Amino acid sequence: MEWYRDLAIIVCGVISTVVLVVCSVLLVVLYRRLTKLMTSMRTATDNLEEISSVAKDKIVEPLAQVGVAVLSLSRWVDTVGDFIRRPRKEPDGKTEKSTKSENTQEEKHE
């Protein structure tokens, strides 16, 4: 009887050792593959970072400068247009714009 018990203990020990060795090998293989994957992901991330910084420097910033220039130009045109369209004084002391607005208000009330 002791012989069967000893045989069972030895078989369990051998099986446990084989399972541990197989799991260890699988973990090492998995680690190596994940290391390669992480390295390639890091490279891809670095490439994307470089591309986005180049796009920012070459595309976004010049477009923003053009937008600011267009906005400034449109405000300048509005200011010059307001100067050109200044209301003229009539002989009775009223401005042309106030006379026109009074006429339209009178028409609305009638």
d(CA 78, CA 100): 22
Check: CB of residue 45 under 8 Å from CB of residue 52: no
Q: Is 95 helix (H, G, I), strand (E, B) or coil?
A: strand
Q: Which amino acid is at 4?
A: Y
What's the pLDDT score for residue 57?
84
Q: What is the pLDDT of residues 4-13, one digit of tens each?
A: 999 999 999 9
Instruction: State yes or no: pLDDT of 28 exceeds 90.
Output: yes
What's the pLDDT score for residue 82?
82
Check: CB of residue 38 under 8 Å from CB of residue 31: no
d(CA 44, CA 36): 12
d(CA 107, CA 94): 19
Mean pLDDT computed over 34-41: 95
pLDDT band at 104 (very low <50, low <70, confident <90, very high): low
pLDDT band at 37 (very low <50, low <70, confident <90, very high): very high
Chain centroid to CA 82: 40
Q: How many residues does the structure list for the chain? A: 110
Mean pLDDT computed over 67-82: 89
Instruction: State yes or no: pLDDT of 47 exceeds 80.
Output: yes
